[in-house]
Amino acid sequence: MKPTRLLLAVLLTSLPAAVHVRGAPQSDFDRKAATLFTKDYSFHAWNPTDHTVDGDDWSLPPWVKPARYSGIQISEKLVSTEFPGRIQRSVRASWREAEPTEGTFDFGALRKEILEQSEGGRYAVKMGLGASVWETRYFQSLQDRTLRKTEPGTAPRWLLEHGVPKIEERPNKSVPFQVVNLDIYHPEYHRRYLKLVEAFGRSGIPQMKELDLCYLHLVSASRGEEGAGPPVGDPRRRLFEERMQVWADAFKGVAHKLCLVSSKEDDMALALKLGMGQRNGFVEHYLMHAPNPGLGQEVDADGYLVVNETCPLIAANRASGDENEEYTAGHVERFGPIETFPHRYRESTLRMLQMRRNFAWAEGGPWLINPPLLHYLALGLGKTARDAPDAWCSLRESIVKGGRNGRTVKNFERWLFQRDADGARTEAVEKVEVPPQMFEFDPGHLYDLTARKTRAAEGQTLIRFGVDESFLDGGPHAVAVKVTYLDRAHAEWALEYSAGDRMAAPRRVTCGDSGAAKTATFILNDAWFPGRGYTGMDLQIRALKGDAVIRFVRVIKLCPPDGGPTVPSDDGPPARHRPADPMTTVPKETAG
């Protein structure tokens, strides 16, 4: 399915004007990638004046630094020395290497590699202790299942001596491989696996300050040893819970580093109880986990996606990660045409920030999809309302599976909320089609609506926004407000904000009719934020002529917040700065 013209027009205005490709592209995918993507790192420079630019504007003031407990896994060859994020390096360990002979454990090489990869704390380090895979078989193609090569797995070969059976998983549907696992719930496997984890805990590696996070692997048909625990009531559930407990014991005092790879409700409840964090994959399916209470993701009665910031994963700043790296030629089968990749990358990146993640795996291929947005992500991961440089609202709407006609999910919001009210009832517009591989969408609604517009002809001339009190409260405050809009129909609109005892309109925007996205920046030195709750009114856009069509709004602090960035301690993750008022630590009331 081809994307709409709007998709290509909007996305291409967000990319650098010139794309320099190293080497001549050969495949059809590479030829298209050379037009849609880039291999040159760039970012949007901060401009402290009122101005308007074409496309998106992901700039932040120079004082903004990445959170200490954050990281982005990406090839260092893809980014320049100007990349602001804390790059994460991966250390791969296996049971096969750690216990080559039964009963003899050796974690010395693992400890050495963690120290080397950390470089004294310069890099974030993640690890996993793989243990389930016997081998991975690679085929010639999806159609030709002739064996091309076989890679040894992570499980010790001596386990077969104890009668542990092999399980041939289903072949992958998009990349030609098949995983062969051992039965991790077989009693002979399970008993010895617990001993492995206990020995790992005694090694002291979990408490190393150089180690930021550790995946708690399970078993799956994928190459990442992912999957979920057996359902409650399954006889294997007890064994799964024993695995979880032994890992929590091994990471005593630093269980926040552990990332459960399951997102199932019962699994997450146990992980949170044991002090663990969580790692998802497939954020490329950006409307998965809407809702998922274990991840702090809820959908209110009006369809708005809201964040429960009291969820321990968020409130306790535990290791929380996602993977947004499937943008290569091998992923066309899984996600649809390459033309849809830039839109999916944008939405997935924003979703990671909306979910309050602190670790991410970015591009896994040779291309950069959107370097300025990657730069912005690196500066936003791991931040809280108290220490974040900006709050934003992505004005969007989609219909996911559920019920007879699907379920509506509105907006991605990060401490800036839009809610309809009398005089400010909006319409979701600007359709961007998504391919049928996006399985979380209702099959009758394979599209995103990527903006909201006023309905001036019906007397609905406003789009209203409330700023979370944890981000900014009262005033006066010096902020920049950036509004990304569609340049259409010679419309006119104005941003209005509270300047204490009055609503002020700092600048009127007069549109042309190019149809392109533009971002207007307003510098406000006297902004007040008196609103309370999701429906509290702190800013509004008023249509003066025709309709305002708005995609994205950001409120940016011009000065560093009080308290500075989060600082790590020796016995836990950097503490989240929480407001003193307990009322601001619970989900805000929904619109009535």
pLDDT digits (tens, 9 = 90+) for 70-118: 999 999 999 989 999 999 999 999 999 999 999 999 999 999 999 999 9
DSSP state letters, 447-511: EEEEEEE-BGGGTB-EEEEEE-TTT--EEEEEEEEEEEEE--TT-EEEEEEE-SSSEEEEEEEE-
Contact 287, 441 (CB under 8 A): yes
Token code pair at residue 55:
């496309």
Contact 138, 148 (CB under 8 A): yes
Give yes or no for residue 584 having a pLDDT over 70: no
pLDDT bin (cut points 50, 70, 90) of residue 263 is very high
pLDDT bin (cut points 50, 70, 90) of residue 592 is very low
DSSP 3-state assignment of 381? coil
Largest interatomic CA distance in the chain: 79
CA dihedral sign of residues 148, 154, 160, 161: positive
Of all residues in the chain, the percent with pLDDT exceeding 90 is: 85
Token code pair at residue 189:
């496997």
Give yes or no for residue 3 having a pLDDT over 70: no
Q: How many helices (H) and strands (E) does the chain have?
A: 11, 27
DSSP state letters, 102-149: TTB---HHHHHHHHHHHTTTTSEEEEEEE--EEEEEEES-SS---EEE
Contact 66, 53 (CB under 8 A): no
**CA 358/CA 306 separation, integer angstroms:** 18
CATH number 2.70.50 is the correct assignment for the domain at 43-64+389-559: no
Domain ranges in the chain are 43-64+389-559
pLDDT bin (cut points 50, 70, 90) of residue 26 is low
pLDDT digits (tens, 9 = 90+) for 115-142: 999 999 999 999 999 999 999 999 999 8
